Amino acid sequence: MVIDVNVLTTGWIIAGVIASFLVAVVALGLGVSSFIQTKNLQKKERRERLLNEIIKWAINVGTYMLSRNLPPFEKHYTKDGTYFGEYLDESTQDIVISEYTKFRMQSVYVAEISKGIPKIECLVNNAIKHLRGILRLLNKYNERCNDIYEKSGELKAALNIARNEDRLYNSVVEIIQTIGNISALD
């Protein structure tokens, strides 16, 4: 039996080409897999960063509200008018309006980034609605001053502000809890 050297050499060359092709396909598959994993990781990290921005805003709003050391709003204000002074005191009004305006400006960014996270977007929009309500009422009262409002008007204004603050606080707590639940699920 005679083996042609050319056939043997051609066979080894074809086997080498096939092996090189298989190595290239495997390397390409690993490269694509690595690329997909990197993109997924970047997407997850971006989402985490956005959630952290939202939760930071919610914590700052809630912390400010608690730092004012007011009792739970609706439960006390309807029974006893002594707490209304906090909302209508001219010496603290400008400070409160300034702080809420700062949070309102930050809420523009928070609303924008929450659009990418449907579970949070509704909660953020609800909190912003109450924040706007507080600012509108505080500014409205601030513009009209004491001599325009009658006593019942002051109480009504303060009660409306208190209710909006109560709802805002509950909204930011819900945002924080929901983000905690989302993070725990990931």
CA distance 58 to 103: 9
Check residue 95 and give its pLDDT. 77
Sequence-distant (6+) residues with CB within 8 A of 116 are 47, 50
CA angle 92, 94, 97 (to 5 degrees): 105
Q: What pTM did the predictor assign?
A: 0.67
Token reading at 77: 């204000």
Is residue 99 over pLDDT 70? yes
Residue whose C-alpha is closest to residue 157's, from 98, 89, 101, 84:
84
Check residue 6 and give its pLDDT. 63
Provide the pLDDT confidence category of residue 184 given band limits of 50, 70 and 90: low
Spatial contact of 167 and 130, defined as CB atoms under 8 Å apart: yes
> What's the one-letter identity of residue 83?
Y
With tokens 């928070």, the residue in question is 110
Check residue 150 and give its pLDDT. 52
User: What is the pLDDT averaged over residues 36-43?
Assistant: 90
